Structure 1
Amino acid sequence: MHTEVCPVEAVDDELRARLLACWTDVTNAGGSVGFVPPVTEDGLAPYLDAVIERVHQGRELIALLRVEGEVAGFAVLSLSVSPLRRHWATVLRVQVRPEWQGRGLGRVLVAGVHDIARARGLEFLHLTVRGGTGLEAFYADFGYREFGRMPGAIRVAPGDDRDELHLTCRL
């Protein structure tokens, strides 16, 4: 299986459609990528379009995971605009399409994000995970460590508030 993770600094209509379908499918399959199911493409489109605008402004880039040439997932690398934090970035929306999950592609994607970050001269990455998902153990394998949490910051349903865990990694 040929895989690649490459940085994307411009998004055309075809790629936008594939990213939107991915984000929708991952969310509806229960993925912890900013929303809770059910979602529609129309509902997510404004959020993706905001990401794309920041990509085109050079404030973010997309780490695109391809398997056999097809879009299999993506993550967003949000770059700091502060001159004091140019060595840091935040990783957002790490996701692999549901039909590709369970094959180690999440690890391929995160390793690719790290490669892209290093190539840009970044030294530290930050990300958050939703409490109760166990994702902190996944990221620990890449060197991420929890440095804080916001109790009850994420309301996934009435009466179901989750902590937001803040993780960081030195590259």
Structure 2
Amino acid sequence: MRTEVCPSTTVDEELRAQLLRCWVDVTNAGGAVGLVPPVTADDVTPLLDQLVERAADGRAVLGVLRVDGAVAGFAVLSLSTGPLRRHWATVLRVQVHPALQGHGLGRVLMTGVHAIARDRGLEFLHLTVRGGTGIEKFYEGLGYREFGRMRGAIRVAEGDDRDEIHLTCRL
């Protein structure tokens, strides 16, 4: 299996379709990537369009994970545009297609995102995870440390509020 994580600030129609399929499939498999299942492409499209626009105007970089040349996942580096935080970025929407999970590709993706961030001169990354999933342990294994929680910030369903856990990593 040949893997690579490539930075992208432009998204053509083919890549856009692959990212959309991935995001829909990850969400419907229970992935905490901004939505609650079930979703359709129509639900995800506005969010994807926002990411594509942010990448096109230099406010974000997509880290696209490919396995044997095919899109297998992605993450977003949301760049700070203010002069005081240009050494920081926020990582958003980290996802590996459900059919490929369990093979260490999440680590490959995040290692690639870290390399992209370093290449851009970034020194710190920030991300949030949804409480109740246990995913924070994965990020801790990559050097992230929790620095705060917003109790009950994420409402997954009526009566099911989750913490938003904030993590940071020095590159």
TM-score interval, normalised by the smaller of the two chains? over 0.9
Matching of residues 18-37 of structure 1 within 5 Å: 18-37=18-37
1:151 maps onto 2:151 in alignment: yes
- CA RMSD of the aligned region, Å? 0.4
Residue of structure 2 equivalent to 1:67: 67
Structure 2, unmatched stretches of 5+, are: none
Cα shift at 1:88: 0.1
Structure 1, unmatched stretches of 5+, are: none
Matching of residues 133-152 of structure 1 within 5 Å: 133-152=133-152
Query: Separation in 1 of the partners of 2:54 and 2:169?
Result: 23
| Superposition TM-score, scaled by structure 1 size | 0.99
Cα shift at 1:43: 1.1
Query: Separation in 1 of the partners of 2:150 and 2:97?
Result: 28
Query: Separation in 2 of the partners of 1:130 and 1:90?
Result: 15
Query: Separation in 2 of the partners of 1:116 and 1:93?
Result: 16
Cα shift at 1:113: 0.4
Q: Tell me, what secondary structure is at the counterpart of 1:91? A: strand
Q: Tell me, what secondary structure is at the counterpart of 2:84? A: helix
Residue of structure 1 equivalent to 2:105: 105
Q: Tell me, what secondary structure is at the counterpart of 2:133? A: coil
Query: Separation in 2 of the partners of 1:162 and 1:43?
Result: 22
Runs of 4+ in 1 over 6 A off after TM superposition: none
Cα shift at 1:132: 0.5
Q: How many residues align?
A: 171
Q: Deviations over 1:37-74 (max 9, x none)?
A: 00000111011001100000000010000000000000
Query: Separation in 1 of the partners of 2:142 and 2:122?
Result: 16
